[in-house]
A and B are shown apart, each in its own frame.
Chain A
Amino acid sequence: MQNHQEKSPFQFILRSLLILILILTVIAPIAGCGKEQADAQSNSSSEVVQTIENKGSDTLVNLALAWAEAYMKSNPEVRISVTGGGSGTGIAALINGTVNIANASRTMKQEEIDTAKENGIEPIKYIVARDAIAIVVHPSNPVDKLTLQQISDIYTKKITNWSQLGGEDRPIVLLSRQSNSGTYVYFLENVIRLGNKESDLLFSPDTLLMPSSECIGAEIKQNPNAIGYDGLGYVGEGQKVVAVAIDNASPYVLPSIETVNTNTYPISRPLHMYTAGEPTGAMKAYLDWILTEGQLLVAGLGFVPLEQ
């Protein structure tokens, strides 16, 4: 800010070197707690391209983007534009005929299907991947199974110590994704509120809202008090996944590709793509590709691939 006139070349060089060294020493491990960015895709626009508009669920948006980018790389004649906005937005756009594919993390409501049919659009449902939420704790934590009711009590602070669950005498530290994440809303509605629409339970104000999956992983890894949840595909090493049961009478199930696909793991849901009418041509090729080769990308984005 000041003293610029005093700076000798020596100071300048010393300072630049210091900054460089500091940044270099820290930049390598920092890749962990941020979002990876895919390279922008360059397009050859020599011939007439076919455009597919794809809009909807924020849960699905990163997966849909990854699919679109990978597909456009091998099929430059197709242009796919992907936007988020929420399942409802995507479905509304499909009904109004402004998009070709709507992404939805829920199924279409009957009245939505009716409105679509009034507009002359027959929505066709595809399950393109599954989303399962894993409950994770520190590897040293002896607690390895929980019921949905217990998880709900933990996140509303009715249970505050691990000893109440057969663990060590430690306070429970609650970790969550940020409130704008689709996972946050899904977890709240289906686990904390146990799927009860009347319920007005909320995350305890003491819940730590972590900026990213990597940050949840980092905190779980080092804190024996912590409990967290995240998309199954995001669970890495240093985290112990807890088996979950619907209630006391049901079996405790660990999440895996198999248990999610057979619907035995309780905290999972299918993710959908809706098309307007039976798809043809490029649209059909794209959806077929998603259901086969596209599945290879699914696990990398935190979701569960369909069983082939």
Chain B
Amino acid sequence: MKTSDAPRRSLRHKGTFFIESLIHILGFSSIGFVLLIFLFLIKEGVPAFFEIPFNNIWDTLWYPTFDLFGVLPLLLGSLIITVTAIAIALPLSIATAVLVREIAPSWVREILKPMIETLAGIPSVVLGFLGMTLVSPVIQKLGAPTGLTAFSGALILAYMALPTIISVAEDALDAVPKSYRDAGLSMGATQWQTIWRVVVPAAKSGIITAVMLGLGRAIGETMAVMMVTGNAARMPLTLNSLFQPARTMTATIAAEMGEVAQGSVHYHMLFGIGLILFLLTFIINLIAASTIFKKRQKGGLR
């Protein structure tokens, strides 16, 4: 038996080795791709910061046709829309996650979960269209001069960030050991008190990660935002700016990249905006990752 077994085993070892190295190559190639994208962004984007004077870039006028490349209205536009979107999405999605994971009976969960995943599957252009035809007339009736405002964009983005935040937050809740709940209930706490005072705080870091991932999703969204925000590159400095049009970095790249002459200053500047956007999402994801990492170091699972 031994004699017939040995060659087969070595053959199997060879196969395993081959497949393992293939998996290694594929795994590392994704790192390589990220690096390549980053290098490409730097190569195309960094020249912009040398070609255009500092005062021109960090200014409030974005008129690329006339060599005015002020990036501040775009940066602030992106920030005001994203932050508002998360402020809307956060309470909704945590409440949903708690409902799905803690309160709802299993048959309700069976229906709710695929529904939430469906939300994530809706193409953003469809949401943008809904925003244009349904949301923006309502905003206009509320008294804004036009319905195409930063707030309309934030509503649509909140809707798009919901599934991401819900499913990650739900996983965080799921990872809280059952003994925590049992302990809470046995101490005489009601179900409500157990959820709010024990389970949710225990899942806090996971929920922060969820919010960060939602932020990353929202700040990079393009199509829907381009359709509902009006794309006016104005500085959102006054209180009513939320109900005025705004222009985001992503919408600017999408709208202008198609027609720009390759290698021109404008072309480099659009990549420069991409670079700024990349750094922003990178920082956001870094914060998300570090909260997970800290928790792991403390010995928690989540």
Stretch at the interface among A209-217, A256-264, A294-302: A209-217
Interface stretch, picked from B3-11, B17-25, B227-235, B272-280, is B227-235
CA distance A85 to B244 in the complex (A): 34
**Set of chain B residues within 8 Å of A29, measured between Cβ atoms:** 129, 133
Contact among B113, B129, B137, B230 for A33, CB-based, below 8 A: B129
Known: A30-B129, A33-B132, A180-B255. A173 touches B121 (CB 8 A): no
Question: Quick check: is A37 within 8 A (CB to CB) of the other chain?
Answer: no
Q: Which of A10, A26, A173, A185 contacts B110 (CB 8 A)?
A: A10
User: Chain A's nearest CB lies how many Å from the CB of B71?
Assistant: 13
Hey, which chain A residues are within 8 Å of B261, CB to CB?
85
A178 adjacent to B256 (CB under 8 Å): yes
Residue of B nearest to A226 (CB): B146
The interface size of chain B toward A, counting residues with CB under 8 Å, comes to 51
Q: Mark A14-29, 1 if CB is under 8 A from B, else 0.
A: 1100110011001101
Answer yes or no: A62 CB below 8 A from chain B CBs. no
Q: Is the CB of A218 within 8 A of B132?
A: yes
A33 touches B227 (CB 8 A): yes
Q: Which of B62-70, B85-93, B154-162, B192-200 contacts A (4 or more CB under 8 A)?
A: B62-70
Residues of B within 8 A of A203 (CB): 63
Q: Chain B interface secondary structure, helix, strand, loop or mixed? A: helix
Residues in A neighbouring B114, C-beta threshold 8 A: 11-12, 14-15, 18
The answer to whether A173 touches B226, judged by C-beta atoms less than 8 angstroms apart, is: no
Using Cβ atoms and an 8 Å threshold, which residues of chain A touch B245?
206, 208
Q: Cα distance A211–B121 when bound, in Å?
A: 24
Is B145 a contact of A171 with CB atoms below 8 Å? yes
A1, A10, A27 — which one has the most chain B CB atoms within 10 A of its CB? Answer: A1
Taking CB atoms, residues of chain B closer than 8 Å to A58 are 259
A-B pairs, 6 with minimum CB distance = A180-B259, A208-B230, A15-B114, A209-B231, A205-B234, A171-B145
| Number of interface residues, chain A, beta carbon within 8 A | 45
Docked complex Cα distance between A178 and B65 (Å): 10
Chain B residue nearest in CB terms to A223: B146
By a CB distance below 8 angstroms, the chain A residues around B302 are none
Does B268 touch A at the CB level, under 8 Å?
A: no
- Cβ of A50 within 8 Å of any chain B Cβ, yes or no, is no
A170 cross-chain contacts in B, Cβ below 8 A? 145
Within the assembled complex, what's the spacing in Å between the Cα atoms of A171 and B255? 27
The answer to whether B258 has its CB under 8 Å from any CB of chain A is yes
1/0 per residue B110-126: CB within 8 Å of A?
11011101100111011
The answer to whether A202 and B63 touch across the interface, beta carbons within 8 angstroms, is yes
Known contacts A19-B122, A180-B259; is-contact A205 B110 (Cβ 8 Å): no
In the complex, whether A225 has a CB less than 8 A from a CB of chain B is: yes
| In the complex, per-residue mask of A164-202: 1 if CB is within 8 Å of any chain B CB, else 0 | 000000110100001110001100100000000000001
Q: B129 → chain A, closest Cβ, in Å?
A: 5
B83 within 8 A of A: no
Asked whether, in the complex, the Cβ of B247 is within 8 Å of the Cβ of A209, the reply is: yes
For the complex, is B171 an interface residue (Cβ under 8 Å from A)? yes
Per a CB cutoff under 8 Å, which of B62, B110, B146 touches A11? B110
Complex CA distance for A15 and B140, rounded to whole angstroms? 34
- What would 6 more interface pairs be, CB under 8 Å, given A19-B121, A170-B145? A18-B118, A19-B122, A209-B247, A209-B255, A210-B230, A222-B136
Which chain A residues border B123 with CB–CB below 8 Å? 23
Q: With A and B bound together, what is the CA distance between A180 and B60 in angstroms?
A: 19
In the complex formed, the residue of A with least CB distance to B73 is A205
Interface residues of B in 50-70 (CB under 8 A from A): 60-66
**Chain B residues, CB < 8 A from A10:** 110
